[in-house]
Amino acid sequence: MLELYQKESCPYCTKVRGVLDELQLDYIVHSMPNGSPKRVFLKTLGGKEQVPFLVDQVHGVSMYESDDIIEYLKNTYVAKN
């Protein structure tokens, strides 16, 4: 299962969601607005309060940075669709 920690108004998050949709991947979205107590959990999970943050439970991968996430998704899931 893919999980995306994101903020609606974040253009980088929008970019990642677009690729997830384009690749027709199922994923769970966790909204992490600025100032939310949820951000503490995000920091615990990945070390930063930064979004977007992707967790791929199937492959045991978690990462920040929209371009890195997009590259990972394409390299990992394009051949499987």
What are the boundaries of each domain within the chain? 25-70
The distance from CA 74 to its chain's CA centroid, rounded to whole angstroms, is 13
Residue with tokens 């903020």: 7
Structure tokens given for 50: 């930064």
Contact assessment for residue 6 and residue 30, using Cβ atoms and an 8 Å cutoff: yes
Rounded Cα–Cα distance for residues 51 and 68 (Å): 12
Per-residue confidence (pLDDT) for residue 79, from 0 to 100: 67
pLDDT at 80: 56
pLDDT, tens digit (0-9, with 9 covering 90-100), for 14-25: 999 999 999 999
For residues 47 and 31, the answer to whether their CB atoms sit within 8 Å is: no
